[in-house]
Amino acid sequence: MNRFGSKSKLPILAVAILLIFATNIESLAQTTQADKQVQDSLVLTLESALEIALSENPIVKIADKEIERVKYLSRERGSGLFPKISLAGDYRRSLKKQRMIFEIPGVPAPPDGIEVGQDNAFSGGISASLPIIAPTLWATLKLNKTDLELAHESARASKLSLVNQVTKAYYSLLLAQDSYEVIKHSYENTQINARVSESKYKQGTLSEFEWIRADVQTRNAKSNLVSAESAVNMAKLQLKILIGMDMDTEISVTNKLSDYHKNIQENDLMVPKDNALKANPEVKQLEIQGQQLEQSRKINIASALPALIASINYQYMSMVNDKKTFTADHFWFPTSTLGVTLNIPLFEGGARIHKNKQIKVQKEMLEHQREQLQRNLELQVSAHVDNMKKALEKSESNKEGLRQAEKALNISQKMYEVGMATFLDVSNSELLYIQAGLAYNQSIYDYLSAKSDLEKLLGREEK
């Protein structure tokens, strides 16, 4: 009997070995396929994503072009310091010549007078002018520095906004992937539970209702898994749009939100009270706009000062009748002049006075805007810091809750397999695990998102 029994067990043992071997081969194939997909895709870190975005995103390119435009505007203004040189040519034909009457005592004058002038008049030459004293031009040139500074600050604001968007999009992708892993783990557990329920149902130890409920739960989990996968794909598309990458390029990220949880520092929550918003791009742009208004006031004042311009003119002229035009008898003679022009503004109906008053009102409005902006930004800073604190507290609690939920899920599954727990107990443990996993990931994302918004408000640039 022993020998016969031993022989009967050999086929079963062989089948089991083959099943184990086939499972390992399938698992190895899946792992190899997954590794191949990672190798074929572009692996992104937050640093590399920001680097690509700052070089490829159209917003950054537009900001750089604006700086380039302002530089050309500065050169255009500076060209007023150089001489203005021009060539000019003129032709006039007399349709009706002028007549003159000479009254000489004792000599009768022709009744129609004497016709004077030539049929044609030609002139051509070169002229140049150079400002010697130009207060308005000099004051305008001082706008170049503030205009360029404003362009740079506007570009910095665009880059800070882009960094914030890319950073949050990257964290959103991590959140989507980590949530997918939680739901995937839950789906795999429901598959195990469904197989156990089906086995028990076939053995007659479980009702058909319980088995059907386990099967329905598995199908619902599959639907949630597909939705989670769709969320991952959408997060990838959003990230690729922001960093200016082609939509057909495959990307992947290998880190997780929990990796950032390990590196959370308490000093992230420490915000300096004094001059905390000094580097904020909106605040700095208002300061520069105030400087521009002050410079505009000086330009307006300078327009009331005398201006002195030197000029030189050299030309050839000719006045000739038709029969001598462009012949050997056609005579040309040169003329030249050199002079200065002094322009002293006296009265313009009070335009400068009213313009100064306009600038004064604009400066007062700008000051009120800055005060309101300062209050709003301080409120936002406080809100972001508070959100970071709350998210940090939640992440610490949710981390322990996830560990406990996973432990409870494993215990309930083992108890269900041996008949010491009901399927309802397993379902409740499964639900608690999903809630704990999603809550943990969400708390870390909330912290990182609030931190990114805070850095944008404080004007901290990515190092």
For the chain, the domains span 43-88+120-458
Please tell me the predicted confidence (pLDDT) of residue 275: 67
Q: Which tops the pLDDT comparison, 422 or 84?
A: 84
Please tell me the predicted confidence (pLDDT) of residue 213: 82
In sequence order, what DSSP letters do the residues of 117-180 get, joined into one string? Answer: S-SEEEEEEEEEEEEEE-HHHHHHHTHHHHHHHHHHHHHHHHHHHHHHHHHHHHHHHHHHHHHH
Helix (H) or strand (E) holding 89: strand 84-93
Task: Give the CA distances from residue 114 to residues 102, 120, 318, 329, in Å, rounded to whole numbers and listed in that order.
Answer: 8, 18, 21, 23
pLDDT interval class at 329 (50, 70, 90): confident
Q: Which tops the pLDDT comparison, 415 or 86?
A: 86
Please tell me the predicted confidence (pLDDT) of residue 240: 92
Give the pLDDT mean for 26-41: 48
Identity at 21, one-letter amino acid code: F
pLDDT interval class at 107 (50, 70, 90): low
Give the pLDDT mean for 326-341: 91
pLDDT digits (tens, 9 = 90+) for 9-23: 334 333 333 333 444
pLDDT digits (tens, 9 = 90+) for 171-200: 999 999 999 999 998 888 888 888 888 888
Please tell me the predicted confidence (pLDDT) of residue 25: 40
DSSP-based three-state secondary structure for 59: helix
Task: Kindly report the average pLDDT of the chain as a whole number.
Answer: 84
Distance between alpha carbon 261 and the CA centroid of its chain, in Å? 27
What's the CATH code, domain 43-88+120-458?
1.20.1600.10
Question: Is the distance from CB of 445 to CB of 257 less than 8 angstroms?
Answer: yes
Please tell me the predicted confidence (pLDDT) of residue 428: 85
